[in-house]
Amino acid sequence: MIISIKNISKSYDNINALLNVSLEFNEGDIIGLIGENGAGKTTLLKIISCLSRQSDGKVFIDKLDTEYDEYNIKSKIGYLAEDNPLYEEMKVKEYLIFTSKLYGLKNFKKQINEYQKLTEITDLSFRKISEISKGQKQRVGLCSCLLHEPKILILDEPTTGLDPKQLIHFRDLIKKISKNKIIIFSTHTINEVSKVCNRIVILKKGIIKKDISINETDSIEKIFESTIES
């Protein structure tokens, strides 16, 4: 599985949200996409997810062109939006069944049980979504993204609003599900990146400023600050 992004740009009202962005992601990559507000992170994630169309350039997912193979590509992607839109009036399991049917899954009971266990939300099955915490809602959203077993997982600001304990749980969960996948997530929690990711991409005003492999000993905050200031 390869994501190939070739010289894409995106503009809104003559303002460049992305400018000549080229990247390649491979199976096993856990990418932290970081940048200030308005850097173009969400725009890039939406283009990869076929939720927005670039103004110029090409994006290929597993050699499929996002302009012409949107249906097949979407089946390979799990996308969790920043606002994590859930049906608050539904119970958790009811929502997961609803999502499974949208994906066209047949053996969804097995899938739901498996991913509820993985995301540790089995005990929430019969609770209304409106009654559970922010961290629990994030886990429900993540569970719903995994039901169709996507090879690519895209998470937009998934750690926003999580307390320290929930951040640790999120980090452990990403490591558990990362095998044979490409995971891309945007974040403002820079210190978390080195604990989860093996690669970072820094965006500034729609331009790729840095794309490097990292390990847990790297000071991402220093790398980010020096990159943004340059």
Please say if the pLDDT value at position 217 is more than 60. no
Domain containing 183: what range? 2-76+150-229
My answer on whether 137 and 164 are in the same domain is: no
Domain boundary among 92, 124, 144: 144
> Does one domain contain both 113 and 200?
no
Residue 216 has pLDDT above 70, yes or no: no
User: To the nearest whole number, what is the mean pLDDT of the chain?
Assistant: 91
Domain termination residue (choose one: 124, 144, 164):
144
In the chain, how many domains are there? 2
Kindly indicate the confidence band of residue 223, based on its pLDDT and cuts at 50, 70 and 90. confident
Select from 144, 160, 195 the last residue of a domain.
144
The verdict on 159 and 214 lying in the same domain is: yes
Is the same domain home to 156 and 198?
yes
* pLDDT (mean) for 78-88: 89
pLDDT in tens, 35-61: 988 899 999 999 999 999 999 999 999
Q: Is residue 27 scored above 60 in pLDDT? A: yes
Query: Are 15 and 105 in the same domain?
Result: no
**Spatial CB neighbours of 108, under 8 Å, sequence gap ≥ 6:** 96, 97, 100, 101, 147
Cα(159)–Cα(197) distance, integer angstroms: 14
CATH number at residue 60: 3.40.50.300
Asked whether residue 96 carries a pLDDT value surpassing 60, the answer given is yes
Confidence bin at 218 (pLDDT 50/70/90) = low
